[in-house]
Structure 1
Amino acid sequence: MMTPVGRRRMVAMLKVLLAFGVCITAIRAITEELSPDHVREFSCGKLYYRTFLLDEKKDVLYVGAMDRVFKLNLKNISLSGCEKDHIVLEPTGYDTTNCVSKGKSQLFDCRNHIRVIQSIEEGTRLYVCGTNAHNPKDYVIYSNLTHLPRSEYVPGVGTAIAKCPYDPLDNSTAIYIENGNPGNLAALYSGTNAEFTKADTVIFRTDLYNMTSGKREYNFKRTLKYDSKWLDKPNFVGSFDGGEYVYFFFRETAVEYINCGKAVYSRIARVCKKDTGGKNILSQNWATYLKARINCSISGEFPFYFNEIQSVYQLPNDKTKFYATFTTSTNGLVGSAVCSYDINEIHAAFAGKFKEQATSNSAWLPVLNSKIPEPRPGTCVNDTSTLPDNVLNFIRSHPLMDKAVSHEHNNPVFYKRD
């Protein structure tokens, strides 16, 4: 993801490059200058274009910016207009005043930066979420960028805490999933900050509503609050629908390395879609949450690690592979890489041993198989509220897997070091 400094300096220009071509040349370890013929530009001023949704069926690219969502002609975005091809979603005067009173910038922080755009209801509508002057707000609009009439009220939409960030500079992720959840009801899954102070970072699923009756059928689910074993200052970069699971990619402070110093590791976490929490333990939290380190390194006697994931991508027609970009830490040698991952390797990591620290001064070691309760923690079941307390207590204290997810080919598909 782009650094905060980079984002502040970013010229308000959207450039659509041939992304697939870039990936292919990278995999072949060949770098080429893109022809100007492959570049199309769109700009309506300095609006911090950051969020994108591609709808190939409609030949449309939706772009989330400051106070606006744009609908661009995918065949040539340069043909899109600033006046007609957008919807304005500005914060209210009250929200702006309240934001400024907290010491935030009226020209940048106290605007509505659109950070989530998701296609819903077979592409007829869009779910949109913005920072709204550090008071997150979400909307459901038509895909032609017009508002719904009052008669089509959508339950659960309006207040968007834990759905998208307060701060426009924060990294976050979200995915709207309509199938496989409890009751087969639609829900937003997100990874973001859930407090103005940024003290509470969360992997979250919204309340589940029956859209016909408007009744809330299932309460929200989230990671444990203020528990560094579950999340420790994460920067989220992506989320994906994985069948019975939802996957989250992020980087965070490595709790297992803390006795040796401070390091940032990349992670992949998963939850079961049908997770409804425990009965008495973890009743508001995930009962199936697990995470593992995700490795991108140059092989050798002393591997060279690219520890900080920056972005992740999955080909639309191949759900068995992920491609992710990584950088080295800010201290030391500078480098970046692209690594690829097979879903079977991800499954293997989550089916392996768990990791634990017996005491605060102990090393992190694999958990003995004899200590793992049944059913295996993290397994998807029809009703997580029936899980025994020993399973819930185990997953509460042991969310981290011992084995890292290894990349394909023993080396990055492309890397560069200074």
Structure 2
Amino acid sequence: MISFTWFFNKRGCSASVHPIGNVPDILQAGNISWTASGSTNPVCTDRAEPNDQNCANFIRVARHLSSQSLLVCGTNAYSPRCREYKYDPAQRNYTWKTDVDGQSICPQDRNSSAAVLFVNNRQIAALSARAGIPRVPAVLEAKPLRTRPEDPTQLAADAEFVGAFAFDDHAYFFLTESAPEKDHCGPRTAATVARVCVNDPGGAPPHDWMWTTLRKVRLQCSLNGTKPFVFTDIAAVSPIMTRWNKAFVFYALFRIKGSPFQGSAVCAFSVDDLIATISDGKPGREKCPAQPTIVGNETQFLQDNSPLSRREVHNYLNEPMLAHVGFDYHYTSLWIDPQVRTVSGKRYDVFFIGTSHGHVIKAVNVGHNSISTVVIEDIIVFPGEDPVLDLKIVRRPGVVTLLVTTYHELVSVPLDNCNWTVRTCTQCIGLQDPYCAWNKDTTKCESLVDQAVPKNAVQEVASGHSLECPDEFSKHMKNMKFPHGSDPWAIDNTASSGRATPHLYSAHTLGFAITFCIMGSVVIGFGIGYWYRHNQRKDMAYFNYR
């Protein structure tokens, strides 16, 4: 059996698919090259701008069908195709066996979004709107089932999908779409979850093309649960669910669009809250039917079974796990390493967040019944400030690494930097990194990634300090007198680790910053308008306003 971990960024890899073996220090496992078919190039030439990079073949789907076969789908110069490849262990090579149309599973270009699930031998694909004349609206389908074209109650034509996962008997798709039900000035979008039963049998003929289990609910990631500061657009979702504070949660990344500043946040959501809200309080909605549903009157059926829930799912504890508001960068991608076990036996979720200026932020929430997020480090992965498009932790025998991609590069980054700049016990403990612990026997800060915990290990992720540290700093601190109410053990992560970390803003600070930016924009706009009107008044004197 072949056991490869395939990796390609969600925006596509031109002309080839590579296993993680092409990353330095990881054994090369194989390579597949597949260029755009010549017969489609004229179509690409007619439709695209000169030198359009989308006239290549960008790989958007890659998945094992069996122990020796692989499904690969590419954009193929605006004409998506899918191939099945067979692996020859003797030759350590792949040959393609079938080549079929991929319009129903693969986007047309590297920038269009899509989410595809293979569950119980069924393919469920969500494709965003595709350019062309006429424009093809977004669709959620599992042949022969599909959403109704141009029906905003089922799926807005401009829906942008960012991810999906399966849970129990359901498939969940995450997207941003126009929200016509919002009573808001100007265009309004909303982060949305669409759910269908994996085994949805459809309607009875002639409605056997209809989803009968489609449900939708809006997600709200906001500061302190207040609507004025809602991060409206979902940008990424972690496919990994985890336990936290007795709740089963998943994490998603959100952004604010159409604003003078760049705002982004990572929020947690309770799976139980999602299931209860998407069912809209109607019994039986969480169950999947075994037989086709008799639709009768199609219009009446759709009215009686409106997929959108009347309520929203709010972020867990009504606060983001981490947020950034400013003019310099925003979050772009997310990966979670769930339930990392520490020396004390406690477990923490570790966040890896890619940014638009080529950084990866590593953070951990040390709160138990509340959110108290610590930024462990801010890693400059791409000095050229290329946006990070995708993140993935890969675990193979002897190798554990974080893969980081842009449009042009794939970089392997270690999960920790425990022994790079850390020299003392206090510095090591001050990192508050679940991957790092101080070994009193070797007097070194050692990595716990894929390693057994040393017998005399010291680690305090929650507090960032320990009286067990024997270094000179700790000895002196014990004997010093401090003003009443001060904390001698407060650790500055930036100073102790030698690495710059971004500011972690409280909800109140972020709220003030957003309000200040909005008010500043209004004042500046008013000033410009007043100046223009005042200086143009003479030129406009000949107008006779009645």
Please classify the TM superposition score into its range, dividing by the shorter chain length: 0.5 to 0.7
Select which of 107, 113, 118 maps to 1:165.
Answer: 107
1:104 Cα deviation after fit: 4.3
Partner of 1:113: 58
DSSP-derived class of the 1:247 partner: strand
DSSP-derived class of the 1:394 partner: helix
Select which of 305, 313, 326 maps to 1:405.
Answer: 313
Rate the CA distance shift 1:334–1:103 in 2: closer, same or farther, 3 A: closer
2:140 partner letter: I
Normalising by structure 1, what TM-score?
0.67
- State yes or no: 1:238 paired with 2:163: yes
* 1-structure distance, mates of 2:49, 2:123: 28
Higher relative CO (CA 8 A, sep ≥ 6), structure 1 or 2?
Answer: 1
Alignment of 1:16-35 (within 5 A): none
Partner of 1:147: 95
- State yes or no: 1:202 paired with 2:139: yes
Alignment of 1:96-111 (within 5 A): 96-105=41-50, 108-111=53-56
Partner of 2:420: none
DSSP-derived class of the 2:182 partner: helix
1:328 partner letter: I
Alignment of 1:118-129 (within 5 A): 118-121=63-66, 123-129=67-73
Rate the CA distance shift 1:381–1:300 in 2: closer, same or farther, 3 A: closer
Normalising by structure 2, what TM-score?
0.52
Partner of 1:382: 290
Alignment of 1:182-193 (within 5 A): 186-193=121-128
Select which of 17, 20, 34 maps to 1:72.
Answer: 20
DSSP-derived class of the 1:257 partner: coil
Q: Which sections of structure 2, spanning at least 5 residues, go unmatched?
A: 327-546
DSSP-derived class of the 1:409 partner: helix
- State yes or no: 1:138 paired with 2:82: yes
1:195 Cα deviation after fit: 5.0
* Contact 2:170 2:197 (8 Å CA) reproduced: yes
1:262 Cα deviation after fit: 1.2
Rate the CA distance shift 1:241–1:70 in 2: closer, same or farther, 3 A: same
Partner of 1:328: 256
* 1-structure distance, mates of 2:173, 2:226: 31
1:323 Cα deviation after fit: 0.7
Partner of 2:279: 351
Partner of 1:92: 37
* 2-structure distance, mates of 1:379, 1:387: 18
Rate the CA distance shift 1:167–1:390 in 2: closer, same or farther, 3 A: closer
* Contact 1:127 1:140 (8 Å CA) reproduced: yes
DSSP-derived class of the 2:40 partner: helix
Rate the CA distance shift 1:298–1:195 in 2: closer, same or farther, 3 A: closer
* 2-structure distance, mates of 1:383, 1:145: 44
* 1-structure distance, mates of 2:146, 2:93: 31
Select which of 199, 211, 222 maps to 1:297.
Answer: 222
1:380 Cα deviation after fit: 1.3
Number of residue equivalences: 313
1:158 Cα deviation after fit: 0.6
* 1-structure distance, mates of 2:240, 2:42: 43
Q: Which sections of structure 1, spanning at least 5 residues, go unmatched?
A: 1-56, 180-185, 207-219, 354-371
* Contact 1:104 1:110 (8 Å CA) reproduced: no
* Contact 1:229 1:397 (8 Å CA) reproduced: no
DSSP-derived class of the 2:41 partner: helix
Partner of 2:146: 222
- State yes or no: 1:250 paired with 2:175: yes
DSSP-derived class of the 1:109 partner: helix
1:349 partner letter: T
* 1-structure distance, mates of 2:299, 2:279: 15
DSSP-derived class of the 2:181 partner: helix
* Contact 1:289 1:395 (8 Å CA) reproduced: no
DSSP-derived class of the 2:7 partner: strand
Partner of 1:361: none
* 2-structure distance, mates of 1:381, 1:343: 21
* Contact 1:346 1:405 (8 Å CA) reproduced: yes
Rate the CA distance shift 1:347–1:168 in 2: closer, same or farther, 3 A: same
1:326 Cα deviation after fit: 0.5
* Contact 1:281 1:389 (8 Å CA) reproduced: no
Over the residues paired in the alignment, what is the CA RMSD in angstroms?
3.1
* 2-structure distance, mates of 1:266, 1:100: 35
Q: What CA deviation, in whole Å up to 9, does each residue of 1:75-109 have, x standing for no partner? A: x8214699x83211112111112211223455511
* Contact 2:83 2:96 (8 Å CA) reproduced: no
Rate the CA distance shift 1:142–1:80 in 2: closer, same or farther, 3 A: farther
* 1-structure distance, mates of 2:71, 2:304: 32
1:59 Cα deviation after fit: 6.1
Rate the CA distance shift 1:310–1:99 in 2: closer, same or farther, 3 A: same
Q: What CA deviation, in whole Å up to 9, does each residue of 1:336-391 have, x standing for no partner? A: 100011210111111225xxxxxxxxxxxxxxxxxx8xx85674110133466589
